[in-house]
Structure 1
């Protein structure tokens, strides 16, 4: 599917239902090949513990609806979720580029092993795997998962602009 027009704007309280719905669908999708889907917790259950509001939070709006969101804490992209019905339309890339532009000279993200689409997105934007860890799943420590820590040097990385 071709890229769509995406507006990135700061999160507003009225966006809660939309990002909770997106998190529900996308997190379950991400856990499918990475960890047991029984590890899933709703956004309401983890929002405080996982620091969604610790740094800037932005939403992507397409066709007048919130289609994804991204959060940044210092130089770490801590949340990036897109409505699964809107995958492969450039929304995740637009959110990622927005967060990278706001990050310091080095951006970091952790991708669950078993999520090749997310890993490919980050790699296509200049991120490389610098470490792989297996341990408690962030957000539901009763489960184990493997995550790839990826970094991008924003001072030297160059990407093409997708129109």
Structure 2
């Protein structure tokens, strides 16, 4: 059995020319996130939600990795962090299970000096929850309310917390 090696990944601050890539990544990965939780009927694009959800309120980083096409590194995911909260973390579905989400998460955990960091994972998004738990997050609360970004829909989310050792 051939073992696929993870790509070399670089995390850097967001640049305006990354917009099209992160919008494409968000829109395709958000559908996967909703498919396992609230339902795809709740989908709204990044263009429709980024301002209200505060995408640019804190730090915003992108992960670049070579996709094997010879075109060089391309944006493969992004993460945003504000006020001790990981607010966004999305990876291109074509790049799932290559360690890119973990690299972005670890970047956030080391880039901020907060003693406590939290995030919210939709109930049913088991792969995201497993990633966070594998990096030391634990569920501290589960609550049901309006879906962030599309308040016409109800959602259940697990508030997860990470504490600096």
Query: Which category of TM-score, normalised to the shorter sequence, fits these structures?
Result: over 0.9
Tell me, which stretches of 5 or more residues in structure 2 are unaligned? 67-72
Match of 1:122 in 2: 132
Shift of 1:74: 1.7
Tell me what 1:33 maps to: 36
Name which of 81, 89, 97 aligns with 2:90.
81
Cα gap change, 1:14 to 1:142, in 2 (>3 Å): same
Gaps spanning 5+ residues in structure 1: where? 157-163
SS in 2 for 1:48: coil
Instruction: Name the structure 2 match of 1:71.
Output: 80
TM-score, structure 1 length as denominator? 0.93
Counterpart position of 1:161: none
CA RMSD of the aligned region, Å?
0.8
Distance 2:124 2:6 in 1: 25
Map residues 14-163 of structure 1 onto 2, 5 A cutoff: 14-63=17-66, 64-103=73-112, 104-154=114-164, 156=165
Structure 1 residue ranges (4+ consecutive) displaced by more than 6 angstroms after TM superposition: none
In structure 2, how many angstroms separate the alpha carbons of the residues matched to 1:49 and 1:96? 23
